Structure 1
Amino acid sequence: MMPAFFLGVLILGLPLNLLSLWIFFHRLRRWTRSTVLLFNLTLADTSWLLALPFLVQYHLDKLYWSFGLPLCKAVRLLYHNYFYLSIFFVTCISLDRYLAIVHPLRSLVLLGRRQTCLLCVVVWTVTFLTSIPVANMTLIQSCPGINRTVCTLYILLKETEESLPYSLFCSIAGFLFPLVSICYCCLRSVRELRHRPGLPNPHSKQRRLGRVLSAALILFALFYLPYHLSRNAAIVMRTVYPDSPASWQPTDLLFSLEMCFCSLSTCVNPLFSCFIGGQFRREFHETFSVLFPQCPGTKLAPVLSQRERRTEGQRQGMTTVTPLCILPRP
C-alpha cells in the first residue's frame, strides 16, 4: 500500500506545488509578508516531493535499499525536516495575522518584508539543525537469512535511549508549542476585532480570521496530532516491551499508516495557500482555468496584467452616472 500511496501523492502533489511556484515567480508582482511565508511553505513541500521517488522505489523493491547510506540519511532527514517546516510556517502565518490585527502599527516594524525573509531563514536553519540527529540515528541494516538491505527509521530502532528523548523534545517544541501559539494568536485576534469600535464590517474580518484559524487547526488535527501520537507510541512500546517484538506490531502499523496519510499534506498545502492568500487564490484560479478549461467549475477568463486588473477594478467601482457638483446660484 505504501508505494501506491506515495506514488499517488507524488503524481498529485508535485504538479500542484510546481504550479504554485510558477505563480509565485511569474504572476505575483507584489509580495507581502503572507506571500513570503506561503512561498516558503510551498518550497518545503516541493523539496520533500523531489525526494519521494527514492522511497517509492525502496518500497517497490520490498524494503531493499540500493542507494547507499548517505542518500538513506538524506531522505530520512528530509522527511523529518519537511514535516516541521510545514508546522512552523503555518504557525508564522497565524502570527502574521495576529500582528496585523492586534498590533497593526508595530507589526510594520517587527515583521516587515525584510524581517519576514530573515524569519524564514531562521526557520529553515533551526529546523535543519534539529533534524541532524535523525541522520545520525539512521542506519542501513542487513536482514539475516534474506537478501534485504533496510534503510531504518529511528522510530523503529530497538534501542530507545536516544530516540525517545528526541521524539518527545520534537513533539513538545515542534508541535505542542506551535499549537498553543496558533490558538492564542487567533483567539486574541478575534477578541480584538470584537472590542474595536468603529471597525468597518467587523464580521467580514472575523470570518476571514476564522477561516485562518479553522484551516490551521484542521491541518494540525488531521496530520500533525495523530502523527506525533503514533510516533511516540511506537517508541514507548519498544521501551516498555524491549523483548517482545510482537507487541510492537499494532503501533508500528499505525505509524506506517500515519506516514502515508501525512504525506497528503503536500497536496493540501497548495489549497491552504489558496484559502489564506486572496491574491494567490485569484492567480491560481486564473492559471488553472487556462490550463484546464474543460474541468467543471472553472471558467476561462482573459488573463489580465496587474495594471489592467487595477484599471478594471476602478472601472467597476465607478457608477454609470457621475454626479456633478452644482454650485448654488448667487
Structure 2
Amino acid sequence: NKNTSKQHLLNLTYINISNFTGRFLPPIYISIFIIGLAANGWGLKSLRHNWKKLGNINVFVLNLGITDILYLLTLPFLVAYYFMESKWIFGEAFCKMTRFCFNLNLYGSIGFLTCISVYRYLAIVHPMRVMGRITVTHSVAISLMVWLLVSVQSLPDMFYSKTSMNTTEKCYDTTHELYVEDYLKYSLGWTFVGFCIPFLITLGCYSHVIVVLCRTNTTDQMLKQRCLRLLIVLILLFSVCYIPYHVLKNLNLWSRVLSKHRICNEWSNGVYIARQISRGLVCLNSALNPLVYLQGNTNIPAKLGHVIFRNYVDAC
C-alpha cells in the first residue's frame, strides 16, 4: 500500500509539472510574438532611417533583426502545440525546423551581439588602428561567417529524434529519453562553443570599454551615458536571457540521465520548473534585442573614438 501510494503521488507530481509548461509558456509566447514583431518592425524601420549614421555596425544590427523575426514567426505553432496539451500536428520535419529556427535565433543573436561588442571595443579603445580600415564588406563577410558557424553548431540537433517513438504527437526541444545521454554531451560542447566563448569575449570587451570611458576626459557626458546604457542593455540580455537558459538546460538533461538510470534526485522537479521558466526568459531576447537599435541609433563608438583620438593627439 505504501508503495502504491508513493507511486500515485509521483504520478500526480509528474502531471502537475507537465501541466505547468502548458500553462506557463503559451501566454509568454503570445506576448513575445506581439511585442517582438512590433519592436523589431520599429527597430528595422529606425535602422533604415539611420543607416548612414550607424556605420559598419548596421550590418550586424540588421542580421540581429533577421534572427529575431525568423524565430518569432514560429511562435504561433508552438502556442498551438501547448494549447493542444503538447500534441504536435504539423509533422516531425516541421517540428525540427521550428527548433532549428529557435537555435538560429538564440546563437545567432549571441554571435551578432558579440560582433557588435568587438566592433564597439575596437572603435572606442583602438580608434587609430581601425579608423577607415573596417569596411561594410568586412562586416558582411563576418556576418556570413556567423550564420555559417551557428548553422554548423545547430545542425546536429536536427538528427536527434524530436518525437515519441510510436507517434509524432510530441515535439521535444531537446530529444527523446533514449538519446538523452548523447544529447547531454552534445549540449555541453554546444554551450561552451556557442555561449561561453562569446560571453567571455563580450565580457572582456565591455570591461575594458568601461575602464576607458571612466578614464576619458570629455565634456560630452550625454554621449558617454548613452554608450553606458547600451552596455547595460547587452549585459542584461546575457544575464537574464542566456545564462539561466544554458545552466538549467544542461542541469535538466543531467537530471533526466539520472532518472533514466533510476537514480532518485529530489531536485529534479524543481529543476524542470526552473528550466521551463528559463525557456520563457530566453525568448525575451527577441523582444529585447531592438533595444540595441534604440541605444545604437547614432554612431556612438565613432564619436567616442574621435574624442579619445583627439585627446591622444593633444597629449602628444
TM-score of the superposition, structure 1-length normalised?
A: 0.75
The aligned runs of 1:130-169 (5 Å cut-off) are: 130-141=153-164, 149-154=169-174, 157-169=177-189
Distance 1:103 1:85 in 2: 26
Q: State the number of aligned residues.
A: 274
Equivalence for 1:179: 199
Distance 1:44 1:177 in 2: 20
Distance 1:127 1:59 in 2: 27
Secondary structure of the corresponding residue to residue 254 of structure 1? helix
Corresponding letter in the other structure for 1:233: L
Deviates more, 1:100-109 or 1:42-51: 100-109
> How far is the alpha carbon of 1:229 from its aligned partner?
0.9
Distance 2:213 2:170 in 1: 54
Equivalence for 2:209: 189
Residue 93 (structure 1) aligned to one of 103, 108, 116: 116
Secondary structure of the corresponding residue to residue 62 of structure 2? helix
> How far is the alpha carbon of 1:261 from its aligned partner?
2.0
Is structure 2 residue 240 aligned with structure 1 residue 229?
no
> How far is the alpha carbon of 1:155 from its aligned partner?
5.5
Residue 75 (structure 2) aligned to one of 43, 52, 75: 52
Distance 2:158 2:133 in 1: 35
Is structure 2 residue 33 aligned with structure 1 residue 10?
yes
Equivalence for 1:275: 295
Is structure 2 residue 89 aligned with structure 1 residue 66?
yes
Corresponding letter in the other structure for 2:241: F
> How far is the alpha carbon of 1:131 from its aligned partner?
0.3
In 2 relative to 1, CA 140–255 (structure 1 residues): closer, same or farther, beyond 3 Å? same
Is structure 2 residue 139 aligned with structure 1 residue 116?
yes
Distance 1:13 1:170 in 2: 26
Instruction: Answer yes or no: is the 8 Å Cα contact 2:160–2:175 preserved in 1.
Output: no
CA displacement 1:59-101 (0-9 Å, x = unmatched): 1111111111110110011111211111111111111111002
Instruction: Answer yes or no: is the 8 Å Cα contact 1:45–1:82 preserved in 2.
Output: yes
Distance 2:97 2:158 in 1: 7
Equivalence for 1:325: none
Over aligned residues, Cα RMSD in angstroms? 2.5
**Structure 1 regions of 5+ residues with no counterpart?**
281-330
**Structure 2 regions of 5+ residues with no counterpart?**
1-22, 301-316
CA displacement 1:209-255 (0-9 Å, x = unmatched): 43232222111111111001110101111223324497443322221
- Ranked by relative contact order (alpha carbons within 8 Å, sequence separation 6 or more), the top structure is 2
> How far is the alpha carbon of 1:140 from its aligned partner?
2.0
Distance 1:188 1:202 in 2: 20
> How far is the alpha carbon of 1:279 from its aligned partner?
7.0
Instruction: Answer yes or no: is the 8 Å Cα contact 1:16–1:270 preserved in 2.
Output: yes
Distance 2:131 2:275 in 1: 43
In 2 relative to 1, CA 138–17 (structure 1 residues): closer, same or farther, beyond 3 Å? farther
Instruction: Answer yes or no: is the 8 Å Cα contact 2:161–2:175 preserved in 1.
Output: no
Is structure 2 residue 282 aligned with structure 1 residue 259?
no
> How far is the alpha carbon of 1:6 from its aligned partner?
0.8
Distance 2:51 2:233 in 1: 26
Is structure 2 residue 62 aligned with structure 1 residue 39?
yes
In 2 relative to 1, CA 263–67 (structure 1 residues): closer, same or farther, beyond 3 Å? same
Residue 214 (structure 1) aligned to one of 217, 229, 232: 232
Secondary structure of the corresponding residue to residue 170 of structure 2? strand
Distance 1:7 1:78 in 2: 17
Instruction: Answer yes or no: is the 8 Å Cα contact 2:60–2:116 preserved in 1.
Output: yes
Distance 2:246 2:138 in 1: 31
Instruction: Answer yes or no: is the 8 Å Cα contact 1:16–1:267 preserved in 2.
Output: yes
Distance 2:263 2:43 in 1: 44
Residue 28 (structure 1) aligned to one of 50, 54, 66: 50
